Amino acid sequence: MTDHDFIAGLPKAELHLHIEGSLEPELMFALAARNGVAIPFASVEEVRAAYSFSRLQDFLDIYYKGADVLRTEADFHDLAVAYFDRAAADGVVHAEIMFDPQTHTARGVNFDTVIAGLLSGMAAAEATHGLTSRLILSFLRHLDEADAFATLEMARPWLDRITAVGLDSSELGHPPEKFARVFAAAHALGLRRVAHAGEEGPPGYVYQALDLLGVDRLDHGNRSLEDPALVARLARTGMTLTVCPLSNLKLCVVGDMADHPIDRMLREGLRATINSDDPAYFGGYVADNYRAAAAARGLDRRDLAMLARNSFLGSFLPDDVVATHLAALDAYVAAH
């Protein structure tokens, strides 16, 4: 079996995926037509050609524009189903997906419309593929604390269907401390906590995510490597890092995939995982991310199995379900 196929079949969880970032240009055009929404592109090719970024903000500007075609519950259902079909083909058996309610409520699309569509897509994926999933409500950090609190309020009727809160969007200038009280309130409601930190922001933002937000998992976390004491702490506490190699390349967090620190993270004892972030924008789904990292950094099958293992250990699944996934992973590795 080739490494290509080994990676596709490797049972894995995806822990860092923005569902709005899985909107492929083809679906963007279909939804624009269905909803009578104008989009500033003439063709699918023109959309793809626009996906060239030199930093996070370049991407975010186009990502929020693309999301404008999402209007109805059916749109969010179709978006989710398209992602899960792709993920299942990549060996994903469990996904913890982020959604950005404020991107939609700011346009007059109701919170309930968004979450109902996503939940029905999640149920369809479980019925079709046996792929389980959880929802992470992510706050936009470029907006203020009051807006995040209002969003948490909208989530109240749905709390039993939401696993965690997250923090995304423009990192620089919007440190985690801005949302310390919102995260405390989410924790008090029984939600788990994740946050993007150390993608473009300094190691100090990672400390804030740990100490002021109390995160259970760190999204990206790359710049932690600049601080040896922080690396030691993350390793000692078994903190999961949801690393996204193709995103890192596209957003110039690394200059070249050959310089990606994924193997260094594993060597330093960090619980690193591989994820796709915004696959429609960054050129690949989760297996493409495993392959790109493996080819550039010479990862062997033991490394790949470790990354998949970490994805289950870092998930919010109960211990007995994690154990079942790890047993299936071990059996797969032993058979290959």
Q: Rule CB under 6 A: is residue 303 a binding residue for ligand HPA?
A: no
Give the CA count within 13 Å in the CB-facing half-sphere of 5: 3
Q: Rule CB under 6 A: is residue 277 a binding residue for ligand HPA?
A: yes
Q: Rule CB under 6 A: is residue 96 a binding residue for ligand HPA?
A: no
3-state SS, residue 137 = strand
Picked from Zn ion, ligand HPA, none, the partner binding residue 14 (CB below 5 to 8 A depending on kind) is none
Identified catalytic residue from 199, 200, 226, 268: 199
For residues 285 and 287, give the distance between their C-alpha atoms in angstroms, rounded to a whole number.
6
Picked from Zn ion, ligand HPA, none, the partner binding residue 90 (CB below 5 to 8 A depending on kind) is none
- Residue placing its CB nearer to Zn ion in the complex, 96 or 277: 277
Q: Rule CB under 6 A: is residue 278 a binding residue for ligand HPA?
A: yes
- Which parts of 30-59 interact with ligand HPA (CB under 6 A)? 56
Exposed e or buried b per residue across 264-303, where buried means at least 16 C-beta atoms within 10 angstroms of its C-beta: ebbebebbbbbbbbbbbbbbbbbbbbbbbbbebbebeeeb
- Which parts of 133-152 interact with ligand HPA (CB under 6 A)? none
14 to 33: interface string for ligand HPA, x by CB under 6 A: ----x--x------------
Q: Rule CB under 5 A: is residue 277 a binding residue for Zn ion?
A: yes
Among 22, 247, 275, 276, binds ligand HPA (CB under 6 A): 247
- CA max distance for the chain: 53
Is-catalytic flag, 145?
A: no
Picked from ligand HPA, Zn ion, none, the partner binding residue 169 (CB below 5 to 8 A depending on kind) is ligand HPA
329-333 contact pairs (CB < 8 A, 24+) = 329/10, 329/11, 329/12, 329/305, 332/9, 332/10, 332/11, 333/10, 333/301, 333/305
Element (H, E) at 132: strand 132-140
Give which of 97, 69, 31 is closest to 279, Cα–Cα. Answer: 97
Among 169, 240, 242, 310, binds ligand HPA (CB under 6 A): 169
Min CB(290)–Zn ion separation in Å:
17
3-state SS, residue 283 = coil
Looking at residue 100, the DSSP 8-state letter turns out to be -
- Residue placing its CB nearer to ligand HPA in the complex, 193 or 309: 193
Cβ(268)–Cβ(256) under 8 Å? no
Q: Rule CB under 5 A: is residue 171 a binding residue for Zn ion?
A: no
- Which two three-digit tokens encode residue 271? 């619980």
Q: List residues binding Zn ion (CB under 5 A).
A: 277
Q: List residues binding ligand HPA (CB under 6 A).
A: 18, 21, 56, 168-169, 196, 199, 247, 277-278
The catalytic site residues sit at 199
